[in-house]
A and B are shown apart, each in its own frame.
Chain A
């Protein structure tokens, strides 16, 4: 259930991603901090209350009720409006839910959905990770402790970014411990990451 609302999930159960190998295990799932959803939640509240707001505006302009608009139009437009508002909430939530950063026993994966129909899938093997840098800048980031983790890799794609993740320093330490284990012994140091 935590998977539905949390942005920092250690050792998730029943989760896998496109291209996951046999024996590979997902150790950490990161998403944008929950507070970053505030903008679309505010818009949703406004959308669901728009009929009342419109009624108020109409009343200010001298209309006593909606009755000047035929009842069939009121019914259809009302149903359409609430379907549209629900669609907006659903799409916004799905975009947040499925835009994930995954740390597994073999690699780090960055799945980005933007504009809902566009997808970007980047990955880097733990052995290719060269440098980790996290950045917390801005008032909201400082208050809610979220920021961006930059992962420099030796692969074709030089940098992978985990944007607006909660507790970026903790995530950096997690990946750093894992990478050190892989580079030293060829296997990720899971015990170290569970501390």
Chain B
């Protein structure tokens, strides 16, 4: 168990983990941008009173992912 703990806290492992986490969040960031664009397309295809709400939620989701991305760059 202590060998695993030592590995988890070694600088080389932490650096590799940081790169992996930042890459993962970047990919998800691209996806959340696609979601934002797709919501616009969906709203044009079928227009309802809730279109604006979906756009706001998609925007907030994208912003949240951006914040997590910058936090990962700073904190990790």
Interface size class of B (residues with CB under 8 A): 35 or more
Give the secondary structure class of B's interface. Answer: helix
Compute the total of residue contacts between A and B using a CB distance below 8 Å. Answer: 87
Q: A94 near B39 (CB under 8 angstroms)? A: yes
Q: Residues of A within 8 Å of B, CB-based: how many?
A: 35
Minimum Cβ distance to chain A for residue B16 (Å): 12
Q: Which of A77-85, A126-134, A137-145 lies at the interface?
A: A77-85
Complexed CA–CA distance, A81 and B57 (Å): 17
Which residue of A is nearest B42, CB measured? Answer: A98
Instruction: Give every chain B residue within 8 A of A18 (Cβ-Cβ).
Output: 44-46
Instruction: Give every chain B residue within 8 A of A23 (Cβ-Cβ).
Output: none
Q: B61 near A98 (CB under 8 angstroms)? A: no
User: A residues touching B (Cβ–Cβ < 8 Å)?
Assistant: 3-4, 14-18, 62, 68-70, 72-73, 75-77, 79-80, 83-84, 86-87, 90-91, 94, 97-98, 100, 102, 111, 113, 116-117, 119, 121
